[in-house]
Structure 1
Amino acid sequence: MDERMLKIIDLENAILKAKKLAEDKLAKGEDADEFIEIGEADEFKIYVAAGETINDSSPDSFHENPRDVFMLVLEGEIEFTFEKGEKTTVKAGQCFVLPKHLKHHCIFRKMTIAIEGVYEKGL
């Protein structure tokens, strides 16, 4: 098969690499939010994300993304707080699309692994 047509991703290795980066930060007492790019197709980028939040006590810093973000949570969970105070938690086995420009704050209460996809054309 022509390698230019098919790129096989070693997902297990990418997850281990992202987890290691996150664990290194946690060992220093820092929050971890690590992303490793694992693929791209027509400027749609796919990442493995690994993270855990250890220093966050309140959602006082909101941010927004310039593009919609798709995420599939493989393990752990992501807790979102939105600018108007609404909260929701996305758990392992669930996925979501976070609309562009929706102001949010997210934390990882435990080690969380996810696959993220974002169309980055025009950034």
Structure 2
Amino acid sequence: MVLCEDTECSVCLLPYSRMDRIPRVLHCRHTFCDPCLETMSQVRSGLLMVGCPLCRRVTCVGRGLSLQEALWVNSRLWEQIPEDDDAAGEEQEEDKLKQETEGETLEAKQPAVQPEW
């Protein structure tokens, strides 16, 4: 069995987030992210079912409910996820691109100085 950090899904090994990788709890009390739960779910006899990859217990979701409606969010993990996690990642990317662009502009403006030996 692969051991992973508590802040990441044990199926995909990606960190939980408040936007697209919300940690949800199965009836067996194991937690996985939304995309992995969607992938693992199956419809049988009109019921949505998810088999836990760790303990094999099956969680059944009532008719007409989605996984997001039926499964609770793991509040302990939710509180550990920074609120602006996704927004901060995007801002960091923008800042990095901005710095690279400014660096290129500064290099273009500075005359080439050759050392005198």
TM-score for both structures, normalised by structure 1: 0.23
Larger Rg: 2
Question: What's the TM-score once normalised by structure 2's chain length?
Answer: 0.24
- Give the structure with the higher percent strand: 1
Greater fraction of residues in helix: 2
Q: Which has the higher contact order (CA 8 A, sep 6+)?
A: 1
